[in-house]
Amino acid sequence: MEFRKNDLVTLEIEDCGIDGEGIGKADGFTVFVKDAVIGDTVTAKIIKAKKNYGYGRLMEVLKPSPYRVEPKCEFARQCGGCQLQALSYDQQLVFKTNKVKGHLERIGGFTDIPMEPIIGMDELFHYRNKAQFPVGRNKEGKIVTGFYAGRTHNIIENRDCALGVAENKEVLDRVIAHMEKYGIEPYNEATGKGLVRHVLIRYGYFTKEVMVCLILNGNKIPKEEQLVKSLCEIPGMTSITINVNKKHSNVILGEEIRLLWGQEYITDRIGDISYQISPLSFYQVNPMQTQKLYAKALEYADLHGQETVWDLYCGIGTISLFLAQKAKFVRGVEIVPAAIENAKENAKLNGLENTEFFVGKAEEVLPREYKKNGVYADVIVVDPPRKGCDETLLETMVEMNPERIVYVSCDSATLARDLKYLCERGYELRKVCPVDQFGMTVHVETVCLLSNRKPDTTVKLSVDMDDYYRIKDGQEPK
């Protein structure tokens, strides 16, 4: 049977795609349905049809899955940020484990994968210590803030995200009230006019410090003193800054930061290490799980105080400083100069002198330092962005021949690709541990341990030294 756009189909959802969508079949025709859960029986409308498969919009749940739960957030379907809120948490962990395992099998070609149980979350909501809220006007002309609907730039109004901290709503209420009182326009992406683009909020999970950064299409916001006074009434307020971004693009942050009040950073901790975090800093958004993630990376690194370690894509030194507690020396590499300055300050803050940090692309710095300056590594830790590692970097890692490589990944597809490269060139995948950093979403972190393969056998030779010297002198051996 041929299916076309706008056809209604009844489906039993039998599987789950990598983006959390339910998968069912109608007369052999595969349909991907957002918001459907494994075990559901649903009615879906075909919104896009190919030859053998299509995409459907969930119209009605005829029979709910035993794994289906009521989403905590009323905007879950509209927003699209929490793709798995309707799925029970134990099944979310199953989904994420299978996602990692599937990528390693299909892309990496691995079998008998040494998977450890996924490390789940204790607190499923209000775990994010950072949020970026776009500001605009709705169809009625009201100033709104919230999150973009999936694959659009239409703002779903929501000042109290279920994944964010309670302080977010208090900050947003005060910023919007200030804009309304003084006639301040939100930014309009279509025209490039308007002033307030985004509100960035960071929260110190352990220190309770609050940062507010207003991203402006300009250098100044009217009545700054009044806004600062209002925001300072929020407990824990520590940093209020302006970020200038006049570019007509969808890039959120510009490069210029101007301090309005307090200091340019907040401080937080992971384990025994304290970090200074600025508006531009990369810092894991789930501190409780990050502590578990880094503990696993440290376990895999197996440091005893004599090792030289390279930490590639080190950011503000988050993993580097964790490693420096156990290693002889740690070198970190990061492309963002401000992050490296933060890393150096964080090393001083924690009294760790066995570190060195380099500004630049990891795929340029590591080959240079290895080939020109002869640096080496007993252990390499790598935590790249979603695109994974550049092949030049992987090649240098193989040439450096460290005893162990610890790969921390936020994208299991590029992880599988890179592990395949390394394991075809002398390394063995010894351990894989998924870590759920982002409950209610399809994202999953993974920590992997690779060990340098040793020869399977050794050959013992017995040499007669009298024969050796006879041969050396040009005589026949006895």
For 468, residues 6+ apart whose C-beta sits below 8 A from its C-beta are none
What whole-number distance in Å separates Cα of residue 228 and Cα of residue 175? 10
Is residue 410 annotated as part of the catalytic site, yes or no?
yes
What H or E segment, with its residue span, contains residue 307?
Answer: none
Do 355 and 320 contact (CB within 8 A), yes or no? yes
Residue 348 and residue 308: Cα distance in Å, rounded? 19
Task: Say if CB 151 and CB 81 are below 8 A apart.
Answer: no
54 φ/ψ angles, rounded to the nearest 5 degrees: -155, 180
> What residues contact 184, with CB distance under 8 A and at least 6 apart?
178, 195, 196, 221, 222
**What does DSSP assign to residue 64?**
-
Catalytic residue, chosen from 82, 161, 314, 410, is 410
* Interaxial angle between packed helices 412-423 and 391-400, expressed in degrees from 0 to 180 and rounded to the nearest 10: 40
Displacement of CA 131 from its chain's centroid (Å): 14
**232, two tokens:** 């300072």
CA-based angle 16:19:21, to the nearest 5? Answer: 45
- Give the Cα separation of 177 and 130 in Å (integer): 22
Whole-angstrom distance, CA of residue 327 vs CA of residue 60: 56
Q: How far apart are alpha carbons 77 and 97 in whole angstroms?
A: 24
Looking up tokens 């000042």 gives 159
- Farthest-apart Cα atoms in the chain, separation: 104
Contact 206, 146 (CB under 8 A): no
Tokens 């790598």 identify what position? 382
Closest among 106, 120, 100 to 431, alpha carbons compared: 100
454 DSSP assignment: P
User: How remote is the C-alpha of 295 from its chain's centroid?
Assistant: 17
Whole-Å CA distances, 62 to 4, 30, 41, 219: 22, 19, 5, 54
Helix, coil or strand: residue 111? coil
What DSSP designation does 439 have? T
The catalytic residue positions are 410
